[in-house]
Amino acid sequence: MDSKHQCMKLSDGHFIPALGYGTYKPQEVPNTETLKATKLAIDAGFRHIDTAYAYLVEEEVGQAIKSKIAEGRVKREDIFLTSKLWCTFHRPELVQDSLKTSLKKLGLDYVDLYIIHFPVPLKPGEEIFPTDEQGKTLFDTGDICATWEAMEKCKDAGLAKSIGVSNFNRRQLEKILNKPGLKYKPVCNQVECHPYFNQSKLLDFCKSKDIILVAFGALGTQRDKKWMDLSFPVLLEDPVLCAIAKKHNRSPALIALRYQVQRGVVVLAQSFKEKNIKENVQVFEFQLTPEDMKAIDALDRNLRYLPAKFTEGHPECPYADEY
């Protein structure tokens, strides 16, 4: 691992770098941007890369990693790569093949972390978001515990070094933790987390179970109109974040990232701009005071930018519970 980067220990003994590069992109952005930006991220010092089947960029992410390995800049074992099981592959018999499909696209023989993207199963098939003629989401039935057992087999097969979940609420995490015959605990829960939605209750719960919380949307998301209400306030323009940034002579983005690292959260940051990518790795170069942390904690307003409306109406919709 790059010495610049702080890591956190996962419950299965592996280590995850506390800062990760996010590779979600809006549909209108060409995939070549992902290839370019992921290379820049590795050059800048990012050693943790977060992708997913559903982002449709696994080829480019894999190409970026392999080109940096070919240049001699990194070795495969220096990179911590995450991918995610999409909702249409929850049926246990589909899980391992789905991971193999991702690995084929990536051109790699393992991922460091494979996580269930959402706790909600969708109708199996080619469509990422299967819908009926009225545009209503086509759900599947299924049991997250059965999906989890198939995830455990992926780890046993060496296709994923670690396994975890994303967008799970407390009840859903408990369902897995209490599953009879549980072989491996989820090492992480990747969820939306930022000063306007700080997830303090879920974070406390995860810490009590040795589950690492991984924050997405930590910079206020890419504000993709497909997924969010654009009338929501812009996180990085928040006056308190801006004042703390000014005091430390850092950007509001760095303050938002540092906030997570200091509360024991692994944080993802996405950017297509070289300047911002280079800036974001500075998260380990400074510290917020306890007063700064308290002031940022006080910004929480239960504002979920990405409500994942396609999950609404399913009994496992994760956001129906308080946390």
Catalytic annotation, pick one of 53, 55, 114, 196: 55
When asked if residue 112 is in the footprint of ligand NAP (CB under 6 A), the reply is no
Residue 55 designated active-site: yes
User: Smallest distance, Å, CB 133 to ligand NAP?
Assistant: 27
Residue pair 96/128 in contact (Cβ under 8 Å)? The answer is no
Q: What does the longest C-alpha to C-alpha distance in the chain come to? A: 54
- Tell whether 194 is in a known binding site: no
Residue pair 34/42 in contact (Cβ under 8 Å)? The answer is no
Which residue, 58 or 292, has its beta carbon nearer to ligand NAP? 58
Which residue, 234 or 298, has its beta carbon nearer to ligand NAP? 234
Question: 3-class DSSP state for residue 145?
Answer: helix
User: Smallest distance, Å, CB 306 to ligand NAP?
Assistant: 6
When asked if residue 260 is in the footprint of ligand NAP (CB under 6 A), the reply is no
User: Smallest distance, Å, CB 289 to ligand NAP?
Assistant: 21
User: Smallest distance, Å, CB 21 to ligand NAP?
Assistant: 8
Ramachandran bin of 112, using left for φ above 0, alpha for ψ from -120 to 50, beta for the remaining angles: alpha
Element (H, E) at 116: strand 111-116
Which residue, 106 or 218, has its beta carbon nearer to ligand NAP? 218
- CA 216 – CA 269 distance, rounded (Å): 7
User: Smallest distance, Å, CB 272 to ligand NAP?
Assistant: 4
Q: Binding residue for ligand NAP (CB under 6 A) from 63, 172, 260, 270?
A: 270
Task: Mark the segment that binds ligand NAP (CB under 6 A) among 5-13, 122-130, 180-188, 272-280.
Answer: 272-280
Task: Mark the segment that binds ligand NAP (CB under 6 A) among 65-73, 126-134, 176-184, 262-270.
Answer: 262-270
Which residue, 175 or 278, has its beta carbon nearer to ligand NAP? 278
Which residue, 132 or 244, has its beta carbon nearer to ligand NAP? 244
Q: CB pairs under 8 A, 24+ apart, for 127-134?
A: 127/88, 128/54, 128/86, 128/88, 129/310, 130/88
Distance set, CA 311 to CA 71, 119, 152, 299 (Å): 42, 9, 24, 27
The dihedral built from the CA positions of residue 118, 59, 215 and 243, taken in this order, carries a sign that is negative
Which residue, 23 or 172, has its beta carbon nearer to ligand NAP? 23
When asked if residue 139 is in the footprint of ligand NAP (CB under 6 A), the reply is no
> What part of residues 167-196 is at the interface with ligand NAP (CB under 6 A)?
167, 190
Q: Binding residue for ligand NAP (CB under 6 A) from 220, 244, 250, 263?
A: 220
Residue pair 115/211 in contact (Cβ under 8 Å)? The answer is no
> What part of residues 8-67 is at the interface with ligand NAP (CB under 6 A)?
22-24, 50
User: Smallest distance, Å, CB 252 to ligand NAP?
Assistant: 7
When asked if residue 221 is in the footprint of ligand NAP (CB under 6 A), the reply is yes
Residue pair 306/221 in contact (Cβ under 8 Å)? The answer is yes
Site size toward ligand NAP, by CB under 6 A: 28
Residue pair 19/280 in contact (Cβ under 8 Å)? The answer is yes
Helical ranges in 45-143 per DSSP H: 58-70, 92-106
Q: Binding residue for ligand NAP (CB under 6 A) from 166, 169, 189, 198?
A: 166
> Residue numbers of the site for ligand NAP (CB under 6 A)?
22-24, 50, 117, 166-167, 190, 216-222, 236, 251, 253, 268-273, 276, 279-280, 306
Residues designated as active site: 55
- List residues forming the annotated binding site for substrate: 117
